[in-house]
Structure 1
Amino acid sequence: MANIRKAQGTDLTSIQELARDTINTCYRSFLGDEGVDWFINSGESDKEIEKQLSNCVVLELNNQIQGYCAFENDFVHILMVSPQIQRSGLGSNLLKHVENKMTLLGHQTYRLETFKGNEQAIKFYLKNAWVIDREEKDEEFGFVRVYLSKRA
């Protein structure tokens, strides 16, 4: 049985490991080997989670963290689910949990952004009734961001 709860300080290492594994497995197709290796090896991936920990909820399965989502106000910063359980419906459960929390905070619309090359994530959000608002090229980094939203 899956459980979703607020992240605690003691979860930091487990969430960081999950993020590194997910980025390593799922992001190479659109960030490239060099981009993924830099993001993980530079410690930027770990720092990002440390910065967002107070805004995180975790998805536990058999007492192990298998997913997490960082969100603030009406914005989903990141949602990741272990590659081993992707396409199981648990990511959708985690997203729905976060949407409900944002609604309780008084938000009528939710927002997020992802990379255009992250087709798996885009399909996931579209399947969960999110819509693409716009795309924008990030001149500094050279990739295209896709902005999505959903009405409560």
Structure 2
Amino acid sequence: MPTSAQGSRLVIRPMERDDLAAIHNINTDCLTISLRDHYSKEQLKAWMKDQTLEGYWNRHEAGEDFLVAARNGLVVGYCSWQGAQLTALFVSPHIQRKGIGSALVKACETRAKQKITWLKALLGASDFYEAFGFVIDREGHDVKRGVKIPHVVMRREGKSASDDGE
């Protein structure tokens, strides 16, 4: 599904195995650059420990859908969802705020088999998701390697995120 973002050609397509290194690098860059002011070094280290290229593919094989955004042939962002939950959205920190994240959310909404009604927003990201009709439901956290990683559970259309398995 080709689309335009700030005058350059952006192509959003399903993830392929050859995209795994780019996806992993984008995820790592976002954690170490974009999120360093929102999470402690301990939290970021716990989050990144043991992340592998195959981990993304294993999630895909287990039923999580992935899309990548490619600009001028290079993967610059990705998103994933499973059921009604948007599970990930990351755009290379060096080109954020150029419409790529918005294009990915819209593409997820178009391709998802059911309406995306909830997500776990990273700290500092709730304003972005509010533009798509999500509202803060509650604060939450995941535990990775014994370290709490806070997030904000967001929902839309009056449906509680707890109805979706959160």
TM-score interval w.r.t. the shorter chain? 0.7 to 0.9
Amino acid of the structure 2 residue aligned with 1:130 = F
Query: Aligned to 2:132, which of 121, 125, 128?
Result: 128
For residues 6-64 of structure 1, give each alpha carbon's deviation from its aligned partner in whole angstroms, at most 9, with x where no partner exists: 00111111111111111110122222122223433x23365642433452100000100
Unaligned runs of 5+ in 2: 1-8, 158-166
Query: Aligned to 2:28, which of 2, 15, 20?
Result: 20
In structure 2, what is the Cα distance between the partners aligned to 1:70 and 1:85? 19
Report the alpha carbon displacement of residue 111 of structure 1 after superposing the two structures with TM. 1.2
Conservation of the 8 A alpha-carbon contact between 1:19 and 1:45: no
TM-score after normalising by structure 2: 0.75
Conservation of the 8 A alpha-carbon contact between 1:39 and 1:45: no
Tell me, yes or no, if structure 1 residue 111 matches structure 2 residue 121.
Answer: no
Conservation of the 8 A alpha-carbon contact between 1:59 and 1:65: yes
Unaligned runs of 5+ in 1: none
Conservation of the 8 A alpha-carbon contact between 1:16 and 1:45: yes
Q: Give the % identical residues.
A: 26
Question: What's the RMSD between the two structures over aligned residues?
Answer: 2.2
In structure 1, what is the Cα distance between the partners aligned to 2:72 and 2:101? 16
Tell me, yes or no, if structure 1 residue 80 matches structure 2 residue 84.
Answer: no
In structure 1, what is the Cα distance between the partners aligned to 2:29 and 2:83? 27
Conservation of the 8 A alpha-carbon contact between 2:11 and 2:69: yes
Conservation of the 8 A alpha-carbon contact between 2:142 and 2:149: yes
Conservation of the 8 A alpha-carbon contact between 2:83 and 2:116: no
In structure 2, what is the Cα distance between the partners aligned to 1:30 and 1:16? 20
**How many residues of Structure 1 are paired with residues of Structure 2 in the alignment?**
144
The 3-state SS of whatever aligns with 2:40 is helix
Tell me, yes or no, if structure 1 residue 5 matches structure 2 residue 9.
Answer: no
In structure 1, what is the Cα distance between the partners aligned to 2:38 and 2:137? 21
